[in-house]
Amino acid sequence: MVISEYRYARRVQFAETDLAGVVHFSWYYRYAEEAEHAMWRAAGRSIDGGGIGWPRVAASFEFHEPLRFEDEFEVLVRVAAVADKTIRYTTVITRGGTTIATGTHTAICVSKRPGEPMQVVPIPADLAARLKVAVPTRD
C-alpha cells in the first residue's frame, strides 16, 4: 500500500490540558506523531522496524483555536516531501469544520543497530516506493 495521508480521530484527555483548561502546546506534536504512526500501521508497516529509525530534525506548529478537555478532533497527516534521507509531513488538526492548528515535521532516516551509533542513511528503496507525496485538498 502507498502512504500519502491519513486521518486520525481522537478525544482530548484531561491530563493533556493546562491550568486554563486548554490543551498544552506540547501535545500537538504528540498528536501529529500518533497520526503518523497510525498512518504507517494502516499501510501495513511499523515506523519502528527494519533496523532504521526516524528522529525529528524539524517541527513547528501554528495555533489557531484552542482544544479543551473532551473535545473530539481529527488529525490529518500528509506526506509533503520525500528526499533521499528525509520525509517531511504536514499536519492539520481540526474540530468539526474549525482549523485548530497546522504544522510540519521532518524526520530523517537513520540506522538503528544495537551497540552502534546512529548514522544517517538513505530511505530504503522498498520503503521509498511506498511513499507518495500527497496532493493537498481543500479541507
Residue-range domains of the chain with CATH: 5-128 (3.10.129.10)
pLDDT range class, residue 131, cuts 50, 70, 90: confident
| Cβ partners under 8 Å of residue 23, min gap 6 | 12, 16, 17, 66, 67, 68
C-alpha cell of 108?
530523517
Residue 137 pLDDT: 55
Which residues sit opposite 53 in a β-bridge?
110
Mean pLDDT along residues 93-97: 97
Rounded mean pLDDT of the chain?
A: 92
Residue 42 pLDDT: 86
Q: Is the pLDDT of residue 135 over 90?
A: no
Q: Could you read off the pLDDT of 33-91 as tens digits, one per residue?
A: 999 999 988 888 888 877 899 999 999 999 999 999 999 999 999 999 999 999 999 99
C-alpha cell of 135?
496532493
Please give the model's pTM, rounded to 2 decimal places: 0.90
Strands 98-108 and 110-111: unpaired
